[in-house]
Structure 1
Amino acid sequence: MILNHLWGLYAHPIEEWQTIDNRHESATYSLSHIALIALIPSLMGYYSSVYLGWKIGTGDAVFLTHNSAVLIGIAMYFALIIG
């Protein structure tokens, strides 16, 4: 997973890119990480719209219902995957 290489890319980028190049990962392995990483913004979008809400100007905070946020979160996830 590319996240395992983050420190190496900062500390010694040339050697780390060679390591990444030498390690040939399958398409399934790479796509599984994309699917996992795409969950993060979808889940945070759900949480923030249901529990934190947002405020425009001086009005009251606006929240989404659970059902609306789930549908938007699912749509966001697939939009990130299809991308």
Structure 2
Amino acid sequence: MRDAIIAAVLPLDLQPHGLRKAAGRRLPEAGCTPHDIMAILGHSTLAEAERDTREADRAGLSTGAITKLEGWTTNKPAQTTS
């Protein structure tokens, strides 16, 4: 791990757990699904993934979710007729 830290030009006192925690925050912000996050971080349950992703940018995630919803609904025909 030390070689990877040096190669990435990161502080030598950086701990692997801190990198994992940062990944847990950044993965949902990048649009990864809970199952993506589980696979990347090695979680065996959704509860573990949720615990590690609590610090994700909730405002940014909500904006992204609304954008996805708007894109999804604009491509669907109305379910009721007028």
Task: Calculate the TM-score normalised by the size of structure 2.
Answer: 0.36
Higher-helix-fraction structure: 1
Task: Calculate the TM-score normalised by the size of structure 1.
Answer: 0.35
